[in-house]
Each structure stands twice: as structure tokens, then as C-alpha cells.
């Protein structure tokens, strides 16, 4: 758990431990990065507004190397799968229309009448596994 009000973290961590869960608690972004380099966590509760290193930076997909992970598993995304994932994450839970998402990932010369986008989305969802992270809002678009 990564949160900067120490009393909040300590109380929540105590309750989770009493419920039988193993909990590590850190209080700033730099400590979180250090902890993540040493331990592959199943779940991270992460505040965005952290001291030293912002939560968004702590949580970032490895853009420079086009690598993505879900927990300890590497996703090994293709360039387009990575682009879809990166675009959805950057939208910060906002809904991206079925036209907008492909437009942001593919170039203007892409053929809009192929099923390339739907195949890419299906492969990305399979790599992300359960529980599902990409929500489809029927007739409107996608969000993460």
C-alpha cells in the first residue's frame, strides 16, 4: 500500500493484516519504486498524489522499451497492442469512442474497414487475462 498520510496507511494495513493478508506499507513514491524492484506484488493500492515521485510515474507502463506487465507476468505486447494499452491508460478512465481509440493508435492510412482493431483488442485482452481491465461500453467505446 502506497499512501502519504502515514496514519491512514498504518490503520488500513493493520485491518488487512487482521483479515489475514500480507501487507507492505510505504509512504512515498521513491519508497514505492524501491519496494517494487524487490517484490512482485499481487496488488498495489497506490495514491496518485505522492511525495518525491508522483503516483502516475510510479505506476507507468515502460514506454521507452514498449514493455508491459500485469503483476509478475510480462505481457509481451505488439506495437499496436502497446499503443492501445498506453492510450487507454493515458485516458485516466475516460471513455474513448470506437472511432477515437483506433485513430490514436493507427495512422491516417489505415483501412477503417478491416478487423485489425478488433483482433488487436482481443489479443490484448487475452494477454491481460482475468479479471478484465478493459471495459467495453456497447455502442460507445472503451475505457480502462
- What is the per-residue DSSP string for the chain? -B-S-HHHHHHHHHHHHHTT-----B-SHHHHHHHHHH---S---B-SS-SSS-HHHHH--BTTTTB-EETTEE----HHHHHHHHHHHHTTT--EETTHHHHHHS-TTS-TTSSHHHHHHHHHHHHH-SSP-PEEETTTEEE-
- The 10s digit of each residue's pLDDT in 17-69 is 999 999 999 998 888 888 877 777 778 888 888 888 888 777 767 566 677 88
- Give pairs for 82-90: CB < 8 Å, separation 24+: 84/120, 84/121, 84/124, 85/61, 85/124, 85/144, 86/61, 88/134, 88/142, 88/143, 88/144, 89/61, 89/144
Domain assignment present for residue 64? The answer is: no
pLDDT of residue 103: 85
Mean pLDDT on 110-123: 84
Q: What is the band of 11 on the pLDDT scale with cuts at 50, 70, 90?
A: very high
Tell me what percent of the residues of the chain surpass a pLDDT of 90: 30
- Total tally of structural domains belonging to the chain: 2
pLDDT of residue 123: 94
Residue 121 has pLDDT above 70, yes or no: yes
Domain assignment present for residue 1? The answer is: no
pLDDT of residue 20: 93
> Do 79 and 134 reside in the same domain of the chain?
yes
> Do 13 and 76 reside in the same domain of the chain?
no
Domain assignment present for residue 114? The answer is: yes
pLDDT of residue 65: 67
pLDDT of residue 81: 92
Residue span of the structural domain in which 138 resides: 69-143
> Do 52 and 92 reside in the same domain of the chain?
no
Amino acid at each position: 500500500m502506497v499512501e502519504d498520510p502515514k496514519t491512514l496507511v498504518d490503520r488500513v494495513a493493520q485491518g488487512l493484516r487482521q483479515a489475514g493478508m500480507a501487507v507492505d506499507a510505504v509512504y512515498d513514491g521513491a519508497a514505492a519504486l524501491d519496494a517494487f524492484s524487490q517484490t512482485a506484488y499481487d496488488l498495489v493500492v497506490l495514491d496518485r498524489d505522492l511525495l518525491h515521485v508522483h503516483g502516475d510515474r510510479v505506476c507507468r507502463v515502460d514506454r521507452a522499451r514498449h514493455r508491459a506487465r500485469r503483476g509478475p507476468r510480462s505481457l509481451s505486447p505488439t506495437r499496436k497492442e502497446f499503443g492501445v494499452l498506453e492510450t487507454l491508460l493515458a485516458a485516466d478512465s475516460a471513455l474513448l469512442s470506437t472511432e477515437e481509440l483506433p485513430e490514436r493508435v493507427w495512422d491516417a492510412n489505415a483501412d477503417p474497414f478491416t478487423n485489425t482493431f478488433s483482433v488487436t483488442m482481443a489479443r490484448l485482452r487475452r494477454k491481460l487475462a482475468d479479471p478484465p481491465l478493459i471495459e467495453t461500453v456497447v455502442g460507445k467505446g472503451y475505457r480502462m
